[in-house]
Structure 1
Amino acid sequence: MATIKDVAKEAGVSVATVSRVVNKSPKASKAAIESVNAAMQKLGYRPNANARALVSKSTNTIGVMVGDVSDPFFGSLLKAVDTVAQAHQKHLLIGNGYHDATTEKEAIDLLINNRCESLVIHSKGLSDQELLQFAKEVPGLVIINRHIPEIADRCISLDNQHGANLATEHLIAQGHTKIAYINSEHDIDDSHHRKAGYQQALHAHGINFNEKYCAEAQPTDEGGEQAMIDLLSRNLPITAVVCYNDYMAAGALSALEKQEIAVPKDISLMGFDNGLIAKYLHPKLSTIDYPIQTMAKQAAELSLALVSGNSSMTKGTIFQASLIERSSVIKQESPDS
């Protein structure tokens, strides 16, 4: 990693000048600030030797960035990483990214500058190139729930397209052809891939895709309810719905109940994630199992192995989702109208 001397040489200034710029001294000229900042960015240098501490000094801390700690999905992820951390006598430092590029970058910078030698990063806002740069700088960085080919051995992800395809195939196997899809409105690969999986299943069975059967909203129960109300307002002959996640499915169920539309008698419903809520809805929700705890444990173990130089550790993995059958889906008996 670059040293302060490397920065000084690149910028064409003295080490003292670099120090003044880093410490925001009023004695640093505008020209010096610009040249030093450009040199630090080019070389990937971090002030106060925090980056070098990643290699030379352990802080017994695993840094984790998630979308939002208030989301139960990320709570499960954090719990799994913490289990690994405790087994290795380490602690967690947590940051929220909120699927926003600027916020994610700030969170990762904070984790690095606090000398986290291992990082488990759930990023949906930053570009592949930005994450590749972080991965180059931090040997112990592992990406979860995203696949970047250039660092595939440091990515733990789920085949989201296969999962949504599996959910839609299950409904088709039960005789449904008028299948709606409720998606997250977030512009992230998860929502794109899951919708693609839904479309893939329709195409495989000769069912025409119709955008009118799709609605988008925030990936929450409120969003799911809003999207279901939107779909119902279109007066479509829907017999089944695939939802982006279990919380959207819960919201869709609420909207259907308010309209006295019975699940699964009138409309069958599929979720995604197999979160805790899926088992306690009425009817119990058929869904797609997302093994986030297993994935998070593997990500944490891989991160620690990368830091220690343990090359025998299992590398990146693309997990496959599985179908969980409960009570919210039944066979479509009558022919489509």
Structure 2
Amino acid sequence: MATIKDVAAAAGVSVATVSRVINNGPKVSDKNRAKVKQVMVDLGYRPNANARALVTQSSPTLGLVFSELTDPFFATLAGGVEKIAREHHRQLLISNGLVSADTERQAIETLLEQRCEALVVHSKALSDDELIAYAEANPAMVLINRHIPQIAHRCVWLDNRAGGEAAGRYLMSLGHQKIACVSSRYHIEDPQLRLEGLQQALAEAGQPLADIAIEHGDPNQTGGEVATQNLLSKNLGATAIVVYNDAMASGVISVLTDNGYRVPEDVSVIGFDDVLLSRYLRPKLTTMRYPIEMMAMEAAEMALSLSSGKSVSDCHKYVPTLVKRDSVLALRG
């Protein structure tokens, strides 16, 4: 296997010159740069990534911390970041945070130990203060799906409260008054803000959401099933259910159907996220679109720009939009 010394000898230049070419350094003529690159191809030489990282204190990698490998939402998030990494010829390194402070901390530290050039971090369990400290120590770190005012210019986030409000207002515009909610059991801001938005919209219309009409579960199909079984046992007579995410909504629809309810004729269901499965459920799911791929791409671009010393804009807020499909129906008078 060829070494950097072999490349230098074959090109008739110093080892230092070869190193500058590898690291895109200055003080190399175009002629020598082209010669070194051709010799590297001829000899099949590949730079040692670890050695290069030691010299530059970074490696051409983009790090991503996210919460759940199997969740379609996070698969879409990772796909958006990966797309930008590929466009910029960066390797993507992924570490799973699992919505746990200890695990999120370890995930960030692991990527920092790998000398990632830039970081996109989805953190729900770490405190604002700790994330601010990480951001101050790592100028190319960007948060996604999290808004911290002190570092707002490095946050790409969604107005979850506005999404909850919009879902509630849409259902009320169709005549629904008995509305229930299936939310996530995790004590993080996303479900809390969506529920607050829904509660605010209903309260302003004079039909506040009763605590008994709210059920919590794991943010997946099984959690949606269990929460819906609990709702049905209360005999609330709800004509519509607002659900934390599309995965839970698929569980909600399954249990309703199994218990003889027609969706949307008897009970309307509205989800959140607009992941791929929402288009293939039966009925197709009405949902609040979370533009996570677009947000992930922006976060990745921001992180790489910051790693190059470039400035970024101040506002990166997104607002959910309603996607009307077949799981919601106007209530007959």
| Secondary structure of residue in 2 paired with 1:309 | coil
Show the counterpart of 1:215: 215
Percentage identity across paired residues of the two chains: 44
Quote the residue 1:95 is aligned against. Answer: 95
Q: Distance in 2 between matches of 1:159 and 1:245?
A: 15
Cα distance per residue 1:85-131 (max 9 Å; x no partner): 11111011100000000000001000001101200000001000110
In 2, distance between residues paired with 1:111 and 1:133? Answer: 16
> Residues 272-311 of structure 1 correspond to what in structure 2 (within 5 A)?
272-311=272-311
Say what the alpha-carbon RMSD is for the aligned residues. Answer: 1.4
CA distance in 1, matches of 2:314, 2:293: 17
Q: Is 1:123 paired with 2:92?
A: no
- 2: CA distance between counterparts of 1:167 and 1:231? 19
Distance 2:240 2:317 in 1: 29
* Equivalent-residue separation in structure 2 for 1:174 and 1:155 (angstroms): 35
Question: For the residues of structure 1 that align with 2:284 and 2:70, how far apart are their CA atoms?
Answer: 23
Cα distance in structure 1, aligned partners of 2:226 and 2:209:
22
> What's 2:330 paired with?
331
Alpha-carbon offset, residue 72 of structure 1: 1.1
Pick the structure with greater CA Rg: 2
Give how far 1:69 is off.
1.6
Which deviations, in whole Å up to 9, do the C-alpha atoms of 1:209-242 show, x marking residues without a partner?
A: 2101100000001100110010000011200000
TM-score of the two chains, using structure 1 as the length reference = 0.82
User: Which segments of 5 or more consecutive residues in structure 1 lack a partner in the other structure?
Assistant: 1-49
For 1:140-151, what aligned pairs fall within 5 Å after superposition? 140-151=140-151
Give 3-state SS (helix, strand or coil) of 2:93's partner. strand
Deviations 1:288-336 (A, max 9, x none): 000000000000000011111112x4344110110000011111114xx
Q: Write out per-residue CA displacement over residues 178-234 of structure 1, whole angstroms, 9 at most, x where no aligned residue.
A: 000000000000011011011011012111221011000000011001100100000
Distance 1:240 1:54, change over 3 A: farther
Q: How many residues align?
A: 282
Q: Structure 1 runs of 4+ off > 4 angstroms?
A: 53-56
Distance between the aligned counterparts of 1:304 and 1:215, measured in 2? 41
Alignment of 1:1-337 (within 5 A): 56-311=56-311, 313-334=312-333
Task: Output the TM-score relative to the length of structure 2.
Answer: 0.83
Separation in structure 1 between the aligned mates of residue 54 and residue 300 of structure 2, nearest angstrom: 16
Structure 2 gap segments, 5+ residues each: 1-49
Amino acid at match of 1:183: S
| SS of structure 2 residue aligned to 1:64 | strand
